[in-house]
Structure 1
Amino acid sequence: MPQRIASLNICIDQLLWELVDRQRLVSISYLTANPMWSPIAGQVKGVPLNHGLAEEIVPLKPDVIFAGEFDQRSPIELLQKLGKRVERLPLPRTLKDINDQILQLADMVGEREKAEQMVKKINTQIAELQRANTGKTPLTAFWYSANGVVIGDGTLEHEFMQLAGLRNLAAERGMFGFNQLDLELLLSAKPHILIVEEGSDDAYSLAREYLAHPALRNADFKIVTLPAGLSGCAATVIGDVATQLKNSLAK
């Protein structure tokens, strides 16, 4: 079991924070200490931070270094050339991927029991979301993001909408992934529900002007606001998102 663990990835940081004792974390991403990006920023004070550079990591003598699928290649390759154990985890794209990643990471750090408890809780929350909407007439919805982007098929958000018994109007229009949609077209589709994620108004003031548009505030649909992070660090927020979506649709 590795006792000295380093992570170059904000999402992996958050999972490790749930799984391992604090003293085993010799370094985490600097982004994890920034409240603009991280829900655990206030908890990680005192943990050494890194910017994904090999020269920051090597002196710490970690037993294992975790990185994400899209983290910078050159520092990772340098760490590997120096004989360091680097484990790269893929970005989870489905609910099953999330469960698999939690268990995979836990096996690597020797914390299987904690991970199984996490997965069990997530699956319970997902099942409650699905059960709450079984048999109801499907409502139409858009999952709406900053800069006028709607989220279509092939995404975790689309999977969530299906579990919640919602018809994803973006997917029904043949949209895959993330697509811009004019506000006029969104309004003319007359969705029952508009789903938005919480975000930092300071960080996204211009991008989020779309979400504050008077036409949206005054439109004849229900706006459901969910915890931020599903598109980024899904594994750590997925249960809360499921519960909030269930509660919001029940009102």
Structure 2
Amino acid sequence: MRRFVFLVAIAALGMSGGAVFAASPPRMVSMNVCSDQLLLALADPEQILGLSRFARDGWQSQAGDISRYPVLSGAAEDVLLLKPDLVIASAFDKRSTRELLKAKGLHLAELAVPRNLDEARAQIREVGDMTGHPDRAVAEIARLDAALARARRAAAERHYRVLPLSRRGWVAGSDSFLGSLLGEVGLRSAAGDLGFTFGGFASLEAIVSLRPDFIVVSQAGDYARDDGQAFLVHPALERFYPPERRIVIPERLTECGGVMLADALDALTAELQRVRP
């Protein structure tokens, strides 16, 4: 339904004398890092009028040099000055800003956060249509599916039981995106043994007693930048889960559930090969 509404909006723009997307690819801005990733992968550089204020914080390393693109403040004013044909936003972006942009006549595509791989594929396809480059979306989905096949082969017949663990002992459940991704590969999440579906906080004692084959973390090493990360380098966890019992998938690859998922799956494949006995 959302895609249908958007296509109707495109038709309305053409009939009203606005930008005709079929003849000229739409000029777009992004309001968050997840839509940044989608536009950088699917749109032409000249279509991108601006990226989110966090675009240069290391989230878009796959896109090469992005210094050519303006970075927006997150407020409505600089978006209005750019006069884009379309604003790519999320339901989590500031509501007052989104409502103001709509009130000023801008067209917004408000994307949900994918909950599984099927929704991720659908969103890539949807944004490919929005940018006018559905062929690129097809290529990205094919890249994702190929990476998934490689990860499944790496996990085949291993029957690993893993625990996705992050700051302060947060455990991602099987209903979370990360949990869903691990399940697609063929890894069994131990989160259910803690009673978690979407996720929850687990004590150090509970994690050690659970004894999964591996913990899945977002970074390697024994350095903690803050108290939240200090949980992951606690001596007890380091004793029971040294590097060879830790699978590292950088958070920036899974946070959005979009075009970087292929990289996340390839990172997982490399880790499964590294820890394989």
Does residue 263 of structure 2 align to residue 240 of structure 1? yes
What is the aligned counterpart of 2:215 among 191, 194, 197? 194
Give the RMSD, CA atoms, in angstroms: 2.3
2:27 counterpart letter in structure 1: R
Larger radius of gyration: 2
Q: Does the 8 Å CA contact 1:3/1:24 hold for their aligned counterparts?
A: yes
Q: Identity percentage over the alignment?
A: 29
- Residue in 1 aligned with 2:172? 151
Give the corresponding residue for 2:70.
Answer: 48
Q: Is 1:31 aligned to 2:45, yes or no?
A: no
Match of 1:98 in 2: 120
Alignment of 1:110 onto 2:132: yes
TM-score (norm: length of structure 1)? 0.91
1:219 is matched with which residue?
240
Unmatched tracts of structure 2, length 5 or more: 1-20
Structure 1 position 124, deviation (Å): 1.0
Alpha-carbon distance between aligned partners in 1 of 2:193 and 2:182, rounded to the nearest angstrom: 12
* Number of aligned positions between the proteins: 249
* Higher mean C-alpha deviation, range 171-180 or range 97-106: 171-180
- Post-superposition shift, 1:229? 2.2
Asked whether the equivalents of residues 149 and 179 of structure 1 are also in contact (C-alpha less than 8 Å), the reply is yes
Structure 1, gaps ≥5 residues long: none
Are 1:161 and 2:179 an aligned pair?
A: no
CA 1:214/1:200 → structure 2, altered by over 3 Å: closer, same or farther?
closer
Secondary structure in 2 matching 1:48: coil
Query: Are the aligned partners of 1:32 and 1:40 in contact in 2 as well (CA < 8 Å)?
Result: no
Q: Which residue in 1 is equivalent to 2:251?
A: 228
Distance of aligned partners of 1:178 and 1:204 in 2 relative to their CA distance in 1, 3 Å threshold = farther
1:170 is aligned to 191
Deviation at 1:169, TM superposition (A): 1.1
Q: Which runs of 4+ in 1 moved over 4 A?
A: 199-204
Q: Alignment partner for residue 59 of structure 1, among 75, 81, 90?
A: 81
